[in-house]
Amino acid sequence: MTQDGSKVERTLSIVMSALVLLCGSARSVDRGAPPTPAHDVLDTYFDMKVDDPYRWLENGDDPAVKRWSAVQDARTRKYLDGLPLRKPIFERLWRQISKTSSSFYSLYVVGNRIFAFYNQPPKQQPMIVLLARELDPSKAQIIVDPNALNPKGTTAIDWFVPSPDGKRVAVSLSDNGSENGSLHVFDVASRREIGEVIPRVQYPTAGGSVAWRADSTGFWYTRYPGPDRPAAEQHFFQKVYFHRIGDKPAKDAYALGEDFPKVAEIFLDNRFNANHVLVTVANGDGGEYAHYLIAPDGSTRQVTHFEDKVVAAVIGPDDQLYLVSRKDAPRGKLLKLDLAEPSLERARLIMPESQYVIQPGGEFGGEPVVVTSRALYVREVDGGPSRVAVFDHDGIPQGVMPLPDLATVDEVEPLWDGTLLYSIRTFLRPPYFSRYDEASGTAVETQLAQTSPVSYPDAEVVREFATSKDGTRVPLSIARRKGLKLDGSHPVLLTGYGGYGLSQTPHFLGPDVRLWLDAGGVYVIANLRGGGEYGEQWHRQGALTQKQNVFDDFAAAARHLVSQKYTSEEHLAISGASNGGLLMGAALTQHPELFRAVVARVGIYDMLRVELDPNGAFNTTEFGSVKNQEQFRALFAYSPYHQVTEDTRYPAVLMATGEHDGRVNPMQSRKMIARLQAATVSGRPVLLSINANAGHGIGSALSIRANQMADAEAFLFDQLGMKLPSEPSPPAPAPQAGEGRPIARTSR
């Protein structure tokens, strides 16, 4: 909420005077920023002493830190809410978001019915619905509605799994974007919750998961240690337990996990074959996996180990285990193993490595391989865009599923009649599902399609390549108005991620990018190393001691946009979140002259202290550890917090964090902002926004996300001198999906 300016200034003065008395000297070069006390705190790593002057800002429970945070947030709100463009930008975005149609995702087929997440703006949270066989969105039945459970909109569904008989659904619920979930079971027919809540099943460190028994009488689930274990272990040591419907959770039996690593991340799956449960165990976030099987009698058996480089697996309805291996195949090859004798040495190669990368799936993706009685469907990526290749059960190619250019597929769901639903995402059209007929190899669009009040008939997305410091070609997807004159004058917003093997794939650009283009801007996504766009080698070249390659790729992308006269340094802005927030911190400290403005959300900035947090410990397999001398030197060399230098002309900066973030400690943003405010001499603002009802962004209420979007847009418009364009007239109605329009068979 906006506060009166004089009140903010009085509060700031009182609080900061008190802090200086308590903590010692304070410095702020950023005009108008509160001076932040600094201490001489020295840490020794091997033969190096490292200063950490804002260590005191790590303790979020300290009343002094709370007061400091409140003043910082109040200053940011005063700036943002005082911008003449902020209110009309929010109103336009909210109006367009609210008029966006409902959408369906995370489909789960049970018999001839489909469970799905259902998003219906302007409701704050997605719901769980049931679709009948005719796939008519208007007949969707709401099974679980978190908006009704909590009218504030701050309760979210982390994930759900229906029982094989379709009579019950297990749901993880959490509050305030915390992703700290408890397991609830709902009866589908009555919509009522049954049984007792099972706590500690989900947390941002290792996530959470459920797999039902084939007879629907109970389920295996993940659980974290209880209060009987030390607090430092609460978000580690995830294990698997079995719960029988009707029993007290206290009676649940341990099943698996005692020998797993401290940073194990467990995913349970039996959706395509309920008789066997596949247990995928990740060794933290670095891309190492082991696989186990839970047999129908509850016995367990290990199939792969971390060193085997099997990065994904799926059990088919044919009682075969399909494994994506990267051993001597960084883009992936497909193996097949009979469950009757599940020893990896008996697996046979059915699909060798190709020019395409088999997507490993993981936390934010669907299954890499979908098996039907007729064929195998393999999700593949090629530098960003993706495709679905079709093979017979012995790996003989049968073509590809029809797709438009520059598209991606997140979900492939076999139905009961020899067809499959598959999601299609492109940059310039809202997401939709098509229905693929296995017999004919053709597809038609369905009614499961989102519509939006914004459209892009005057825009195009082109692919260009920047050349990185070591000669690597880095793909760029550039969204621009058709006929754009390349004269160096356009505001450009460049974004990227580059981590964890996650690929930046096409997605609908939405209302905020539409506004950016209408104001004369250009929007660019860089496919950086560290991601998975070109396979495991691409990932590894941007991980551990080679992480600097990611930042070099991003700088090369920025220079490409300047050299090709899309923009100039004075009109170039960058934006990123989480690992992309780290990217922003590294970019602005290594190349402050390249950028005019930076938006960084929930970012990591102190690379020497991040592993002390629970989720940071999981990240050591991706980033490295200060306990290893070579990795420490690499971490220190790019750690944004430690590379801030005094009396430097830094860009304008807006950082945002949430108090309930279990993935990245909010102290990362607090410390980085304090150091930047004390160092910058550009006269441009360095701002911190802290949301008390949000976490990392997953599960945040729709209104929170819309306000954060408006904050970023207003900040960038102000800093780059952009004007708010008049709102265009609504486009003429386009033919709606679901009219049976065929999609031509294509191949890429």
Residues classed as catalytic: 578, 696
Q: How many residues does the chain have?
A: 748
Q: Which residues 6+ apart lie within 8 Å of 486 measured at CB?
A: 564, 565, 566
Q: Give the long-range contacts of residues 313-316, CB within 8 A, separation 24 or more.
A: 313/278, 313/280, 314/269, 314/272, 314/278, 314/367, 314/368, 314/369, 314/370, 314/371, 315/269, 315/270, 315/272, 315/273, 315/276, 315/278, 315/339, 316/272, 316/273, 316/371
Give the position of tokens 């090709």: 564
- Pair of tokens at residue 23: 């903590």
- In 407-546, DSSP assigns E strands to 407-408, 412-414, 419-426, 432-437, 443-449, 459-467, 473-481, 492-495, 522-526
Q: Is the peptide bond before 122 cis (omega within 30 degrees of 0)?
A: yes
Distance CA 590, CA 176 (A): 35
* CB-based contacts of 638, cutoff 8 Å, min separation 6: 547, 548, 551, 586, 590, 607
- Angstrom distance (rounded) from CA 488 to CA 186: 57
User: How far is the first Cα of the chain from the last one, in angstroms, to the nearest whole number?
Assistant: 50
The β-bridge relationship of strands 522-526 and 492-495 is parallel
Distance between CA 546 and CA 533 in Å, rounded?
17
Q: d(Cα 318, Cα 741) in Å, to the nearest integer?
A: 33
- CA angle, 77 then 82 then 88, to 5°: 105
User: 251 vs 235, 296, 729, CA distance in Å?
Assistant: 22, 20, 61
Number of DSSP helices (H) and strands (E) in the chain, helices first? 13, 43
Task: Give the pairing type, strands 253-256 and 239-244.
Answer: antiparallel
Greatest CA separation for the chain? 77
Rounded to whole angstroms, the Cα distance separating 259 from 285 reads: 18
Backbone angles phi, psi at 730, to 5 degrees: -60, 140
Residue 274 DSSP code: T
Nearest in space to 197 (alpha carbons), one of 216, 233, 167, 221 = 221
Q: Which residues contact 48 (CB under 8 A, 6 or more apart)?
A: 636
Say if CB 621 and CB 288 are below 8 A apart. yes
* CA separation for the pair 15, 435 (Å, rounded): 61
Give the separation between CA 267 and CA 206, rounded to whole angstroms: 9
What's the sign of the alpha-carbon dihedral 270, 272, 276, 282?
A: negative
Distance CA 51, CA 481 (A): 47
